[in-house]
């Protein structure tokens, strides 16, 4: 086999590439058959025979939020307990990532916990300390599949459960003070270079709820943009619920807006289109004219 690869590489590059891809696919197929098929069967058996299900997730926070529709669906017939594993290392550099070199830290967990505790379909949320786990959402990072599909569906393919993403899956009260704002959370990753937020300067009610570094970058474009430092994810969610419209790229804010089904706009990333919009009151856009058209449509409603 090694000699064949060498000869093909030297004398027939096209056949070499085809052969290399064939070997990779066979290796991936073997991995699924030896490791993951049995895991998926165990998950289904638990769902069929247990009254209580434990879930594990290591983060990011947005990825945890995106698993909640599946947990909510399972909660219709099971008691659901969510465990969060801390300090799983990042495998790639994330610009200005709030958890530094990890997927989730204790500070991030505490930021998340307040919102999860408000969701009545989750019996408990705790830091993972080697408890027995029934559904491990972290498996998605180990599977030999391209993750450039709808990241709201990552949990679908681990659990085998597919809820209706057009429906709300988050419940929070409205914010008592910050209301009717243009709320923005634009991370430094997954930005769309085809568009500009400059036209929002003609409005006087824009507020940014991400990190301060993210805010400083966007304030260069929207000079009258205000900053608000949220106490926790619950308060951030309350502000988004009370907003006139939410705007964000593929980051935590749009995950929350999707869960609440508040009027929302997704700045779609041409280079990593993994975030999708589901249900009414939401649009995504790649180009400036569509950005402004959809903004006016939602803002004037």
Tens-place pLDDT, residues 147-196:
999 999 999 999 999 999 999 999 999 999 999 999 999 999 999 999 99
Spatial CA neighbour of 253 closest among 292, 282, 286, 220: 282
- Phi, psi dihedral angles at 212 (to 5 degrees): -65, -40
Token code pair at residue 171: 């419940």
Total-model pTM: 0.91
User: Tell me, what's the pLDDT at 32?
Assistant: 87
Q: Is the predicted pLDDT of residue 82 greater than 70, yes or no? A: yes
Q: What is the pLDDT of residues 238-278, one digit of tens each?
A: 999 999 999 999 999 999 999 999 999 999 999 999 999 99
- The tally of CA atoms less than 13 A away on the side-chain side of residue 99 is 23
Contact between 127 and 84 (Cβ < 8 Å): yes
Pairing of strands 52-57, 226-227: unpaired
Domains of the chain: 49-163 (no CATH), 182-299 (3.40.50.2000)
Instruction: Give kind and range of the element (H or E) at residue 79.
Output: strand 79-84
Cα-based angle 112, 117, 119 (whole degrees, multiple of 5): 105
**C-alpha to C-alpha distances, 108 to 32, 85, 97, 111, 119, nearest whole angstrom:** 32, 11, 11, 5, 18
């Amino acid at each position: 086999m090694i000699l064949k690869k060498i000869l093909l590489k030297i004398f027939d590059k096209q056949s070499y590439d085809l052969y290399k891809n064939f070997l990779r696919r066979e290796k991936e197929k073997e991995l699924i058959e030896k490791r993951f098929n049995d895991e998926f069967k165990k998950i289904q058996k638990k769902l069929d025979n247990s009254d209580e299900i434990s879930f594990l997730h290591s983060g990011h926070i947005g990825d945890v939020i995106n698993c909640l529709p599946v947990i909510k669906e399972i909660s219709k017939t099971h008691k659901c307990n969510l465990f969060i594993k801390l300090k799983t290392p990042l495998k790639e550099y994330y610009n200005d990532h709030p958890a530094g070199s990890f997927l989730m830290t204790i500070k991030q967990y505490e930021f998340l916990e307040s919102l999860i505790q408000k969701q009545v379909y989750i019996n408990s949320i705790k830091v993972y300390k080697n408890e027995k786990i029934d559904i491990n959402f972290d498996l998605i990072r180990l599977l030999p599949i391209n993750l450039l599909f709808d990241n709201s569906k990552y949990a679908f393919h681990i659990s085998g459960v597919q809820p209706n993403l057009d429906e709300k899956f988050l419940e929070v009260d409205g914010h008592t003070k910050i209301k009717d704002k243009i709320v923005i959370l634009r991370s430094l990753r997954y930005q769309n270079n085809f568009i500009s937020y400059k036209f929002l300067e003609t409005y006087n009610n824009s507020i940014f709820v991400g990190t301060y570094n993210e805010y400083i970058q966007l304030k260069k474009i929207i000079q009258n943009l205000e900053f608000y430092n949220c106490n926790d994810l619950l308060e951030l969610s309350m502000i988004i619920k009370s907003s006139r419209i939410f705007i964000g790229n593929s980051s935590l804010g749009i995950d929350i807006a999707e869960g609440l089904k508040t009027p929302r706009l997704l700045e779609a990333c041409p280079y990593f289109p993994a975030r999708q919009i589901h249900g009414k009151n939401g649009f995504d856009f790649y180009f400036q004219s569509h950005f402004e058209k959809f903004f006016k449509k939602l803002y004037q409603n």
